[in-house]
Amino acid sequence: MSGTWEKTACILCECNCGLEVQIGGEDNRHFTRIRGDKAHPSSKGYACEKPHRLDYYQNDPDRITSPLRRKDDGTFEEIDWDTAIGEVAARLAAVRDEHGGETIFYYGGGGQGNHLPGAYSTATRRALGSRYRSSALAQEKTGEFWVGGRLMGNMTRADFEHCEVGLFIGKNPWQSHGIPRARVTLKELAKDPKRTLIVIDPRRTETAAMADIHLQVKPGTDAWLLSALGAALVQEGLTNEAWIQEHVDGAEDVLAALVDIPIAEHCQIAGVSEDLVRDVARRIGAAESVAIFEDLGIQMNRHSTLNSYLNKLLWVLTGNFAKRGAQYVPASIVPITGKLDKLAAGAECKRTPVTGDRIISGLTPCNSIPDEILSDHPKRYRAMIVESGNPAHSLADSKRMREALRALDTLVVIDIAMTETARLADYILPAATQYEKAEATFFNFEFPENYFHVRRPVFEAPDGVLPEAEIHARLCEALGAYTDEDLAPLHAAAKQGRAALLPVFFGSVLSNPKLAPFAPVILYRTLGPHLPAGLESAAVVWGLAHQTARANPGSLRRAGFDGEGFEPAEKLFDAILQSPSGVVFAVDEQDETWARVKSPNGKIQASIPELLDELASLGDSSAGTEDRAFPFVLSAGERRSFTANTILRNPDWRKKDPDGSLRISPDDALQLGVGNGDRVRLTTKRGSVEVPVEVSEMMQAGHVSLPNGLGLDHTTEGGDRVQTGVAPNELTASEDRDWLAGTPWHKHVAARIEALA
């Protein structure tokens, strides 16, 4: 309704800050006012500049509002939903029957703010026998997850609100956020003389500029810098020996590796003064608490997994774990890392069928996907479902990715818009937007109080689109996953209320191997219709609430969800439904972090021989690109104030930097004879593009940086299709990746630049 504030969340980065919105405009289909929601448990009224532009998401000219089928000439025709579901199910079932369900690959399941599709898609995958899947996490976080798994069977986050020292490595939270109320937290940290903000980044980012200490590392040399830092801790006696004795196994291997590191040499390779590195080590060693956040600057770079290990050793060696202001393990509704406990017990990762690459957190490395398709191997991926992801644009090596997607027997895309990936599909199934259905925040990692936010729709969905829960339920039904008879007792029970549904659901679905795999869509079908209007897609959250209650009884009790048997979970689910701003579901004590360490003896397992070997072989390999033909290091995909992955396709949403310029240092600009706005040709071994430059004091010589999320095509008012800016992955190569986790080297692409007349 016009004039009233409704509650929802921003979907432009993983923080999902709470928002209040008003709607109006033509047909009441527009956001007219947007502001931060003070009642949101994590963002507390905070919002950056981006959500004010959300109407560009909701009203995108490239929105799809009918299922589409590809014709022989490559164009699409509209078909009705029954035809679409019937044909998609039949084609995927044919692939399953001929080649095995494991050749049907699933990609996506959620972007920055839509995570419920992932839960429902598991049912469709089980109906098809699909075993392999991936998502964007397998091109950024899987190396870090693997290290967390080996160290302690879990992931960690850090408490920047209370830390004495806050360290960001390859992370620019002023622009990319990633911690609650990022700019407020950064300012508080920077202005307090007793606290220290440290940034490791080759650029003088907004965050680096406000930091107490900026270690302006040479691009791609963090392994040298981080090992020098660890070595300084060891060699200067700054480690917390008593804590290590009590809590850490295998520390002797780590200490032995670090005690011999030539600190001066490593600092020189990293381009940072040894004195400053020693200062930082002493500051870390002396601090009451240290919080560390690593992100794409090292995760999408050379030695990616080793960097994650060296980062974590800094807090392992100083005991900055399970105390206020340090690292912790949050309570989760759904662990986004999957199960990591087996890694801590010494288990090996499963491997992909064609290339034999490590599957971490259940995910095929994104850079391996083309190899898993473009092969004669009988178990190659032959069909693919892509849901809320745009791999043809966002994964490495777009050219090769397109070739792979074209080589599939069948490609089905579930999206709201005509994307680069959708254009290659055999079928496109159009979804309701995140403001037209119930959605939930899954990147909620707070501590000691963690929250969960299920949002209600604020717009009605147009005819012709469906929420993913409905799409997956229909696919499962077309695949014969369950019958009306199977559901009849559940329908009858659900009518009487959740108390009656509980024993039937646990008794005849979860304990029945024939039905259990389809539990999410069965809940959507049976419980969904009895939830408050608009919240049908939240049905699966009921199951998640029960899982959460079983896994975290103490945390829920302290949050007020107490009682016997199913009571805490039921209270929690009620609270979720009744809290449009989100609800605190867990209140933890520091000891809960130790309880979530999943190694067999509850200690941190510090020795990781694979990575200690890599550390030993670092040697003096120099910085730069080591390639005379491509002397520049290109970081392909920087977060800026108006970038948001590929969620907003209409370039008009960007108030600044409409074409996405290439940032270049003043020295390099002078050498090349270019100034602001001049166009250059930027070439890598994979591609060549033209782009305007921005001469920027942020950049060091030899390093250039392109924004992420540009180079999307979109339809203009006149109906033409145009592309704005450079699509970064036209320049990247799928073979440039970490040896262990397969994560790409997007921040370290060898490039050449020529001025254009």
Ligand X SMILES: Nc1nc2c(c(=O)[nH]1)N[C@H]1C(S)=C(S)[C@@H](COP(=O)(O)OP(=O)(O)OC[C@H]3O[C@@H](n4cnc5c(=O)[nH]c(N)nc54)[C@H](O)[C@@H]3O)O[C@H]1N2
Contact set with ligand X (CB under 6 A): 13, 111-112, 114, 117, 136, 139-140, 169-172, 175-178, 200-203, 205, 217, 219-220, 222, 295-298, 301, 387-391, 394, 414-417, 419, 431, 433-434, 468, 635-639, 643-647, 708-709, 728-729, 732, 746-747
Give CA–CA dist 407/105, Å, rounded: 13
For ligand SF4, give the closer residue by CB, 47 or 123.
47
- Min dist. Cβ of residue 753 to ligand SF4 (A): 31
By CB under 6 A, which span of 7-15, 339-347, 368-376, 597-605 interacts with ligand SF4?
7-15
Fill in the DSSP letter of residue 4: S
Does 401 engage in binding with ligand SF4 (CB under 6 A)?
A: no
| Residues near 511 by beta carbon (within 8 Å), at least 6 away in sequence | none
For ligand X, give the closer residue by CB, 552 or 684.
684
Beta-carbon neighbour count of residue 250 at 10 Å?
16
For ligand X, give the closer residue by CB, 239 or 419.
419
In 249-292, alpha helices (H)? 251-259, 263-270, 274-286
Tokens of 362: 């259940």
Does 127 engage in binding with ligand SF4 (CB under 6 A)?
A: no
Does 340 engage in binding with ligand SF4 (CB under 6 A)?
A: no
By CB under 6 A, which span of 8-16, 352-360, 368-376, 646-654 interacts with ligand SF4?
8-16
Tokens of 132: 């392999």
- Min dist. Cβ of residue 312 to ligand X (A): 15
For ligand X, give the closer residue by CB, 114 or 734.
114
For ligand X, give the closer residue by CB, 125 or 203.
203
> In which residue are the tokens 């340090």 written?
326
Cis check: omega of the bond before 568, within 30 degrees of 0: no
- Min dist. Cβ of residue 32 to ligand X (A): 21
Does 520 engage in binding with ligand SF4 (CB under 6 A)?
A: no
DSSP 469-493: HHHHHHHHHHTTSS-HHHHHHHHHH
- Min dist. Cβ of residue 10 to ligand SF4 (A): 3
Tokens of 196: 């220290």
CA distances in angstroms from 170 to 155, 219, 222, 320, listed in the order given: 18, 10, 9, 20
Chosen from ligand SF4, ligand X, none, partner binding at 144 (C-beta under 5 to 8 Å by type): none
By CB under 6 A, which span of 14-22, 441-449, 531-539, 618-626 interacts with ligand SF4?
14-22
For ligand X, give the closer residue by CB, 204 or 377.
204
Single-letter amino acid, residue 44: K
CA distances in angstroms from 98 to 93, 101, 171, 355, listed in the order given: 9, 9, 46, 22
Instruction: Identify residues 44-83 at the interface with ligand SF4 (CB under 6 A).
Output: 47-48, 50-51
Chosen from ligand X, ligand SF4, none, partner binding at 16 (C-beta under 5 to 8 Å by type): ligand SF4
Does 186 engage in binding with ligand SF4 (CB under 6 A)?
A: no
- Min dist. Cβ of residue 583 to ligand X (A): 22
8 A C-beta contact, residue 316 and residue 230:
no
Residue 496: strand, helix, or coil: helix
Give CA–CA dist 419/410, Å, rounded: 17
For ligand X, give the closer residue by CB, 153 or 711.
711
- Min dist. Cβ of residue 36 to ligand SF4 (A): 7
Does 647 engage in binding with ligand SF4 (CB under 6 A)?
A: no
Fill in the DSSP letter of residue 652: G
Chosen from ligand SF4, ligand X, none, partner binding at 707 (C-beta under 5 to 8 Å by type): none
Give CA–CA dist 189/185, Å, rounded: 6
In 345-408, alpha helices (H)? 369-373, 391-394, 398-407
- Min dist. Cβ of residue 181 to ligand SF4 (A): 8
Single-letter amino acid, residue 481: A
Does 16 engage in binding with ligand SF4 (CB under 6 A)?
A: yes
Does 175 engage in binding with ligand SF4 (CB under 6 A)?
A: no
Chosen from ligand SF4, ligand X, none, partner binding at 417 (C-beta under 5 to 8 Å by type): ligand X
Q: Encode burial over 657-687: b for 16+ CB neighbours within 10 A, e otherwise.
A: bebbbbbbbeebbeeeebeeebbbebbbbbb
Torsion, Cα of 139, 145, 150, 152 (10° steps): 180
List contacts with ligand SF4 (CB under 6 A): 10, 12-13, 15-17, 47-48, 50-51, 177
